[in-house]
Amino acid sequence: MTVRVQREDFDTAAELERVAAGQTQIGAVVTFTGLVRDFADARNDTQSDARGVQRMTLEQYPGMTQRQLEAIVAEARRRWPLDDCLVIHRYGELLPGDRIVLVVTASAHRQAAFEASAFLVDWLKTRAPFWKLEEHGGQRRWVEAKASDDEAASRWNR
């Protein structure tokens, strides 16, 4: 089980290779990669204003981010029989197309791996202390939290 919060990019194939290496009880590996989009979510803006994100800066809370991600991974392991689990989340300056986050879940069977992956992504979106600052057309804007993310995360409450 690994959690890394880092500025630098990651190599998805190499990370994936490491997860399943030497663990022949693993039958399913699910990978989620989050990327920087070039359009912002339309909020009060018109659709045309919401396009054209040129750069994103991801701020984090050093220490708490690592701690919260580890707590989320621990919760996933309590709920599903995972053989391995990896979360890498980047921070700092990112460009459209850049990788932001990698979540890998491994289990004997696919259902646990799929569900744990969705759970981890939903929870890290609503609990991990990161904030996105988008720049487009010379303007900076803090991305606002979305109610749809809270709804997605709430389906795991029990």
Partner 1 sequence: MRVLYFALLRERVGMAEETVSPPTEVRTVADLVVWLRGRSEQHEAALANAAMVRVAVNQDYAQPSDAVRPGDEIAFFPPVTGG
Considering only 10-18, 23-31, 64-72, 78-86, which stretch makes contact with partner 1 by CB under 8 A?
64-72
Residue type, 18: R
Determine, following the binding rule CB under 8 A, whether residue 39 of this chain makes contact with partner 1.
Answer: no
Q: Considering only residues 26, 29, 85, 128, which one is a binding residue for partner 1 as defined by CB under 8 A?
A: 128
Q: How far, in Å, CA of 127 to CA of 33, rounded? A: 18
Nearest to 143 by CA among 100, 87, 102: 100
Smallest gap from residue 90 Cβ to partner 1 (A): 10
Determine, following the binding rule CB under 8 A, whether residue 132 of this chain makes contact with partner 1.
Answer: yes
Q: Considering only residues 144, 148, 151, 154, which one is a binding residue for partner 1 as defined by CB under 8 A?
A: 144
Q: Considering only residues 64, 92, 93, 95, which one is a binding residue for partner 1 as defined by CB under 8 A?
A: 64
Beta strand 82-90 pairing with 99-107: antiparallel
Which residues contact partner 1 (rule: CB under 8 A)?
34, 58-61, 63-64, 67-68, 89, 100-101, 121, 124-133, 142-145, 149
